[in-house]
Chain A
């Protein structure tokens, strides 16, 4: 599980700099998802990004939801998959399915 990038450390340093930060974590995968459970993406309200939750397919959609979570403070559980119309929208071309948990750092 240890990744070469310490996203939590990056998120903590952003928080120290006064940024508003949200964390997205892959919590479940099925099929050929490119990143295993536990993979993280950190996003700031100012648009900084670190890490990844897919091969780049859904980062944009996750960042959008992260912005909402930063505003409301409410965590969200997102489903991305081939059976989900949203997946086509954001282009999960690999055909995998995954769940991503998005939470605000507060």
Chain B
């Protein structure tokens, strides 16, 4: 791989642009999709590899190619800069997620509590969510326990293709939340997307345990594991 080619991959990464590295295995020749012109068959396979986020092999005119998608990192949006969030953030960072913590309460969302590895957003959750625009590679977790903060974030998350939506709170709290969301016009299928009570059932009690159960549930959902529900 040429150093200049590596620099282009890194530039795409810095700009959060999805690209795919196409390598001809016979001689190491490389193309960067979609920036470089590639045979139609190869470009199509690169597009599919990016969509599936999965490497692929393709033989084009007798030559073997390896297709390696480089998607921007998965994102986690945490609403509520609370104690559980403090435990969840380093777990998510360790899993390669780009993490944003949203909390308009200035005393909570501080760098001292979260370190430099996360983006802190002090907007109201609905504004923050409108700005962050969750996509299919985004997980959203609400942790404030305060409907004034959690509900607007959940409403925005439910209107997005986020692959995971979780909300902290007991069954009773969630039942009240469901009633409010129904009132706001969300149907059964939409509301069923919310993992609540949040996290895999590992009997979590402490904040770090709850964070672990949430992270495990996010990974399970992302990988399509059958235990993903709660």
Kindly state whether residue B71 has any CB partner on chain A within 8 Å. Answer: yes
* Cβ-based interface call for A51 (8 A): no
A105 on the B face (CB < 8 A): yes
The minimal Cβ–Cβ distance linking A43 to chain B, given in whole angstroms, is 13
CB distance from A32 to the nearest CB of B (A): 17
CB-CB < 8 A to A23: which residues of B?
Answer: 1
Q: Is the CB of B66 within 8 A of A101?
A: yes
Most buried by B among A8, A15, A37, A38: A38
Question: Given A2-B73, A101-B66, A105-B1, is A8 in contact with B27 using a C-beta cutoff of 8 Å?
Answer: no
Asked whether, in the complex, the Cβ of A28 is within 8 Å of the Cβ of B96, the reply is no
Known: A12-B6, A36-B55, A38-B55. A103 touches B28 (CB 8 A): yes
Check: A27 CB closer than 8 A to any chain B CB: yes
B202 shortest CB reach to chain A, Å: 22
A15 smallest CB distance to B (angstroms): 6
Q: Smallest distance from the beta carbon of B89 to chain A beta carbons, Å? A: 14
CB–CB B96/A2 < 8 A:
yes
Task: Identify B3's interface contact among A9, A15, A25, CB under 8 A.
Answer: A15
User: Does chain A have a CB within 8 A of B38?
Assistant: no
Compute how far the CA of A2 lies from the CA of B96 in the bound complex, rounded to whole angstroms: 7
Asked whether B2 is an interface residue with its Cβ less than 8 Å from the other chain, the reply is yes
Can you list 13 A-B contacts (CB < 8 A)? Answer: A1-B54, A2-B70, A4-B94, A9-B13, A12-B3, A23-B1, A27-B57, A27-B66, A28-B57, A28-B66, A101-B23, A101-B25, A103-B28
Q: Evaluate contact between B25 and A1: CB separation under 8 angstroms.
A: no
**A75 to B27 CA separation, bound complex (whole angstroms):** 7
Binding site for A on B (CB under 8 A): 1-3, 6-7, 9-10, 13, 23, 25, 27-28, 53-57, 66, 68-71, 73-74, 94-96
Binding site for B on A (CB under 8 A): 1-4, 6, 8-9, 11-12, 15, 23, 25, 27-28, 36-38, 75, 77, 101, 103-106
CB-based nearest B residue for A75: B28
Contact B57 A1 (CB under 8 A): no
- Contacts A3-B96, A15-B6 supplied; 19 other A-B pairs, CB < 8 Å: A1-B53, A1-B54, A2-B73, A2-B96, A4-B95, A8-B6, A12-B3, A12-B7, A15-B3, A27-B23, A27-B25, A37-B57, A38-B55, A38-B69, A75-B25, A101-B28, A103-B28, A105-B1, A106-B3
In the complex the two chains form, what is the Cα distance from A106 to B2 in whole Å?
Answer: 5
* Most chain B C-beta atoms within 10 Å of own C-beta, residue among A2, A15, A27, A75: A2
Evaluate whether A25 and B6 lie within 8 angstroms (CB atoms) in the complex, with A38-B55, A75-B28 already known.
Answer: no
Query: Are B69's CB and A1's CB within 8 A?
Result: yes
Contact B10–A1 (Cβ < 8 Å): no
Q: Say yes or no: A1 contacts B68, CB within 8 Å.
A: yes
Q: From residue B6, how far is it (CB to closest CB) to chain A in Å?
A: 6
CB atoms of A12 and B70 under 8 A apart: no
Assembly CA distance A58 to B172 (angstroms):
53
* Inter-chain contacts of A1 with B (CB < 8 A): 53-55, 68-71
Which of B6, B57, B94 is most buried by chain A, counting CB atoms within 10 A of its CB?
B6
Closest-by-CB residue of B relative to A6 is B13
